Chain A
């Protein structure tokens, strides 16, 4: 996002206000009781009244998500490099990669809680697991699609010496694959909260997922919505922070500016 931030925020605020208004209209027209569908104003009031309580639990969930994101990214990047560079790793790791995506994360959440306990570890593992596939698959795809002209150039520069394969990987293949990795990380930032919250639903004593489940059980739907709102705001903020950091880190990426505020590069005559 190379353009000014203000118009984006303004658009986001207008959209949120519109959705909130629609929500309130539904509450008014259906006359739904607050324990079925609380209105947005009630939810906002609950957020204000229980801010400390929500912040304490939000901090736990945020830590789980960020740690899961870091760990999943690290494992995904290392796996993609190993799968790309080593034939045995390709044979052994690739099935694990596919299995990690084939098994629904919801199905193994209870097992992870059983193995890793009710604390943060099982939730971090869930977030890690849910982002492992998108990160690995996108980075691997990027590593495989290096511009052949760059590789030809590298082969002539290194005289085809197989000992320089890692140098070619480090100096050409990895940087060329970073835009693909960035796509994977954007998906990861969007889905990591799901992993952490599912883990909290299965078994936890803290975190926004725990708050939602607990409030739902006690018919405190306003508190449940308040926790959901905080979680949604955090997830959206996380996505935009990751997106902005990636754009700053990869200014050379062809699509690093959105179409509506892209500025063409300076062209200078020879």
Chain B
């Protein structure tokens, strides 16, 4: 169980997630068409782009929350179904205000009719720095604490694939940095898709960064970063990558995809 790095994944090694030729329309507007990208196993893949470009829509398709796919496929690299192997974390903490923190963290088990492992939940809350706050209602927690509780709830699901939709964007800068450190450590070994519009966050947390731009949106080839997250943002490689990303984002529009760096 938890030893400071979150619970182990019950069903073994995290798989690749392969998104192949998917198309999404909102009415007459084509958000993206024939879009393909692979999320490598056990790595954090950041999807970076401007607001409204379709990043969250793509994440929701992977999560099974979008409309049925009209074209293409989203599948796990190991050939097993994705169903039952995905945890989801939203920009909003989505804590239920009528439950205390511990009951929020164990919500998934209750919804599935499984016995809630409150011991594991307590360990996870300790890992995210919320020991002693288990009985508190969400209303008395700060924004950072609430998002840490949401991270604990996501990890409590113990799924090998984690989808995060701008999970720290509503927080102040210092709290965001602390939570990025925490997430970088606790998500190790999982296949993560992190949607963000913050290049610093992408450089700190991503093994790979894809930029999404244009209408219909295209995904550029991955920028890969060395070492494991959380990465020191003042490190030379980090600052160089950040500059590259900013330059690319400044240029990117409806232009065809190009490789940022390898």
Contact = CB atoms under 8 A, between A and B. Distances in A.
Interface residues of A, number: 29
B64 A153 contact: no
A155 interface: yes
B86 interface: yes
A250 B97 CA distance: 10
B97 A156 contact: no
Contacts of B178: 270
Choose among B60, B94, B111, B175 the residue with the greatest number of A CB atoms under 10 Å from its CB: B111
Contacts of B145: 268, 270
A149 B92 contact: yes
A42 interface: no
B111 A150 contact: no
B60 to A, nearest CB: 8
B63 A156 contact: yes
A158 B65 contact: no
A156 B112 contact: no
A270 B111 contact: no
Given A150-B96, A164-B111, A171-B111, A156 B88 contact: yes
Nearest to A168: B111
B148 interface: yes
Interface string B123-162: 0000000000000010111111100100000000100000
Given A156-B63, A164-B113, A252 B97 contact: yes
B52 interface: no
B141 A268 contact: yes
A9 B189 CA distance: 62
B64 A265 contact: no
B192 interface: no
Interface of A is mostly: helix
A265 B139 contact: yes
Contacts of B86: 156
A157 B98 contact: no
Interface in B89-104: 90, 92, 94, 96-98
A152 B88 contact: yes
A3 interface: no
Contacts of A147: 94
B94 A270 contact: no
A269 B113 CA distance: 35
A60 B184 CA distance: 67
B83 interface: yes
A73 to B, nearest CB: 19
Nearest to A160: B64
B112 A157 contact: yes
Interface string B61-93: 001110000000000000000011011101010
B121 to A, nearest CB: 14
Nearest to B143: A270
A149 B142 CA distance: 20
A172 interface: yes
B188 interface: no
Contacts of A158: 108, 111-112
Contacts of A157: 107-108, 111-112, 157
Contact of B96 (A152, A167, A175, A270): A175
Interface of B: 60, 63-65, 83-84, 86-88, 90, 92, 94, 96-98, 107-108, 110-113, 137, 139-145, 148, 157, 175, 178
Interface of A: 147, 149-150, 152-160, 164, 167-168, 171-172, 175-176, 178, 250-252, 265-270
13 contacts: A153-B88, A156-B65, A156-B86, A158-B111, A158-B112, A167-B113, A171-B110, A175-B98, A251-B137, A268-B145, A269-B142, A269-B144, A270-B148
